[in-house]
Copies of this chain bind each other. A is one copy, B any other.
Amino acid sequence: MTEVVDRPTGNAAVPTEGRAANSPAAAVSAADEQPAVDVAALGEQLLGKWAHIRRQARALAARPELHKTEGLTHTEHRKRTFGQLQYLVDNEAVHRAFPTALGGSDDHGGNVAGFEELVTADPSLQIKAGVQWGLFGSAVMHLGTEAHHSKWLPGIMSLAIPGCFAMTETGHGSDVASIATTATYDPAKQEFVVHTPFRAAWKDYIGNAAIDGLGAVVFAQLVTNGVSHGVHAFYMDLRDPLTKEFLPGIGGEDDGVKGGLNGIDNGRLHFNNVRIPRANLLNRYGNVAPDGTYSSPIASPGRRFFTMLGTLVQGRVSLDGAAVAASKMALKTAIQYATERRQFNASSSTDEEVLLDYQRHQRRLFTRLATTYAASFAHEQLLQKFDDVFSGTHDTDEDRQDLETLAAALKPLSTWHALDTLQECREACGGAGFLIENRFASLRADLDVYVTFEGDNTILLQLVAKRLLADYAKEFRNVDFGVLARYVVGQATDVAIHRTGLRQVAQFVADTGSVQKAALALRDEEGQRTLLTDRVQSMVAEVGAALKGANKLPQHQGAAIFNQHQNELIDAAQAHAELLQWEAFTDALRKISDPGTKTVMTWLRDLFGLSLVEKNLSWYLMNGRLSMQRGRTVGDYINRLLVKIRPHAVDLVDAFGYGPDHLRAAIASGAEKIRQDEAREFFRMQRASGDAPVDEKAILARKKIEAGLPRH
Partner-B contacts on A (CB < 8 A)? 1-2, 70-74, 168, 170-175, 178, 180, 184, 197-201, 204-205, 221, 223, 226-230, 255-260, 294, 299-302, 343-349, 352, 357-360, 363, 419, 423, 426-427, 430-431, 433-437, 440-442, 444-445, 448-449, 451-453, 456-458, 555-556, 558-560, 562-568, 570, 614, 617-618, 621-624, 628, 631-632, 635, 639, 674-676, 678-679, 682, 693-697, 699-700
Within the complex, which residue of B302, B359, B555 is in contact with A347, where a contact is CB–CB below 8 Å? B555
Task: Assess the A694–B71 pair: CB atoms within 8 A.
Answer: no
Task: Assess the B556–A679 pair: CB atoms within 8 A.
Answer: no
Known: A198-B682, A435-B258. A171 touches B622 (CB 8 A): no
A462 nearest CB across to chain B (Å): 8
The 4 A-B pairs at the shortest CB distance, nearest first, are namely A259-B441, A347-B559, A617-B618, A346-B559
Chain B residues whose C-beta falls within 8 Å of the C-beta of A171 in the assembled complex = 675-676, 679
Task: Assess the A563–B359 pair: CB atoms within 8 A.
Answer: yes
Known: A175-B343, A343-B175. A441 touches B452 (CB 8 A): no
Q: List 21 A-B contacts (CB under 8 A).
A: A1-B556, A2-B560, A71-B74, A174-B344, A175-B352, A197-B682, A227-B694, A230-B696, A256-B436, A357-B563, A358-B563, A359-B564, A363-B567, A427-B451, A430-B452, A434-B449, A441-B445, A614-B618, A621-B622, A621-B631, A622-B628
Task: Assess the B621–A628 pair: CB atoms within 8 A.
Answer: yes
Task: Assess the A442–B1 pair: CB atoms within 8 A.
Answer: no
Chain B residues whose C-beta falls within 8 Å of the C-beta of A72 in the assembled complex = 73
Task: Assess the A679–B226 pair: CB atoms within 8 A.
Answer: no
A517 nearest CB across to chain B (Å): 20
Chain B residues whose C-beta falls within 8 Å of the C-beta of A174 in the assembled complex = 343-344, 430
Number of copies: 2
Bound-state Cα–Cα, A570 to B299, Å: 60
- Add 7 more A-B contacts to A205-B434, A221-B693, A434-B448 (CB < 8 A): A198-B679, A227-B694, A259-B435, A259-B445, A301-B700, A360-B566, A360-B570
Known: A198-B679, A348-B556. A70 touches B257 (CB 8 A): yes
Bound-state Cα–Cα, A168 to B435, Å: 15
Within the complex, which residue of B2, B436, B622 is in contact with A257, where a contact is CB–CB below 8 Å? B436
Chain B residues whose C-beta falls within 8 Å of the C-beta of A558 in the assembled complex = 347
Chain B residues whose C-beta falls within 8 Å of the C-beta of A2 in the assembled complex = 560, 563
Known: A347-B555, A562-B346. A223 touches B693 (CB 8 A): yes
Chain B residues whose C-beta falls within 8 Å of the C-beta of A614 in the assembled complex = 618
A235 nearest CB across to chain B (Å): 22
A635 nearest CB across to chain B (Å): 8
Residue of B nearest to A204 (CB): B431
Bound-state Cα–Cα, A345 to B171, Å: 13
A128 nearest CB across to chain B (Å): 16
Chain B residues whose C-beta falls within 8 Å of the C-beta of A345 in the assembled complex = 178
Task: Assess the A173–B431 pair: CB atoms within 8 A.
Answer: yes
Within the complex, which residue of B301, B566, B632, B699 is in contact with A696, where a contact is CB–CB below 8 Å? B301
Within the complex, which residue of B175, B349, B431, B570 is in contact with A205, where a contact is CB–CB below 8 Å? B431
Candidate in A358, A436, A555 with the most chain B CB atoms within 10 angstroms? A436
Task: Assess the B197–A228 pair: CB atoms within 8 A.
Answer: no
Chain B residues whose C-beta falls within 8 Å of the C-beta of A200 in the assembled complex = 675-676, 678-679
Chain B residues whose C-beta falls within 8 Å of the C-beta of A70 in the assembled complex = 256-257
Task: Assess the B694–A226 pair: CB atoms within 8 A.
Answer: yes
Residue of B nearest to A695 (CB): B228
Chain B residues whose C-beta falls within 8 Å of the C-beta of A700 in the assembled complex = 299-301
Task: Assess the B675–A198 pair: CB atoms within 8 A.
Answer: yes
A639 nearest CB across to chain B (Å): 7
Chain B residues whose C-beta falls within 8 Å of the C-beta of A563 in the assembled complex = 1-2, 346, 357-359
Within the complex, which residue of B173, B201, B259, B441 is in contact with A440, where a contact is CB–CB below 8 Å? B259
Residue of B nearest to A261 (CB): B434
Bound-state Cα–Cα, A679 to B197, Å: 8
A539 nearest CB across to chain B (Å): 12
Chain B residues whose C-beta falls within 8 Å of the C-beta of A184 in the assembled complex = 693
Chain B residues whose C-beta falls within 8 Å of the C-beta of A227 in the assembled complex = 693-696, 699
Chain B residues whose C-beta falls within 8 Å of the C-beta of A260 in the assembled complex = 434, 441
Within the complex, which residue of B226, B456, B457 is in contact with A693, where a contact is CB–CB below 8 Å? B226
Chain B residues whose C-beta falls within 8 Å of the C-beta of A348 in the assembled complex = 555-556
Chain B residues whose C-beta falls within 8 Å of the C-beta of A435 in the assembled complex = 255-259
Task: Assess the B352–A178 pair: CB atoms within 8 A.
Answer: yes
Residue of B nearest to A74 (CB): B71
Bound-state Cα–Cα, A299 to B701, Å: 12
Residue of B nearest to A205 (CB): B431
Task: Assess the A697–B301 pair: CB atoms within 8 A.
Answer: yes
Known: A173-B430, A448-B434, A449-B431. A256 touches B71 (CB 8 A): yes
Within the complex, which residue of B258, B349, B560, B631 is in contact with A441, where a contact is CB–CB below 8 Å? B258
Task: Assess the A228–B628 pair: CB atoms within 8 A.
Answer: no
Bound-state Cα–Cα, A30 to B255, Å: 47
Chain B residues whose C-beta falls within 8 Å of the C-beta of A457 in the assembled complex = 427
Task: Assess the A436–B347 pair: CB atoms within 8 A.
Answer: no
Bound-state Cα–Cα, A434 to B445, Å: 10
A529 nearest CB across to chain B (Å): 21
Chain B residues whose C-beta falls within 8 Å of the C-beta of A458 in the assembled complex = 360, 427
Bound-state Cα–Cα, A444 to B423, Å: 12
Task: Assess the B693–A228 pair: CB atoms within 8 A.
Answer: yes
Candidate in A173, A302, A349 with the most chain B CB atoms within 10 angstroms? A173
Known: A456-B430, A563-B2. A694 touches B259 (CB 8 A): no
Candidate in A71, A259, A675 with the most chain B CB atoms within 10 angstroms? A259
Residue of B nearest to A437 (CB): B256
Candidate in A198, A437, A700 with the most chain B CB atoms within 10 angstroms? A198
Within the complex, which residue of B230, B445, B562 is in contact with A445, where a contact is CB–CB below 8 Å? B445
Bound-state Cα–Cα, A631 to B347, Å: 42
Chain B residues whose C-beta falls within 8 Å of the C-beta of A682 in the assembled complex = 180, 197-198
Chain B residues whose C-beta falls within 8 Å of the C-beta of A299 in the assembled complex = 700
Chain B residues whose C-beta falls within 8 Å of the C-beta of A624 in the assembled complex = 628
Within the complex, which residue of B205, B343, B441, B566 is in contact with A172, where a contact is CB–CB below 8 Å? B343
Chain B residues whose C-beta falls within 8 Å of the C-beta of A674 in the assembled complex = 199
Bound-state Cα–Cα, A444 to B448, Å: 11
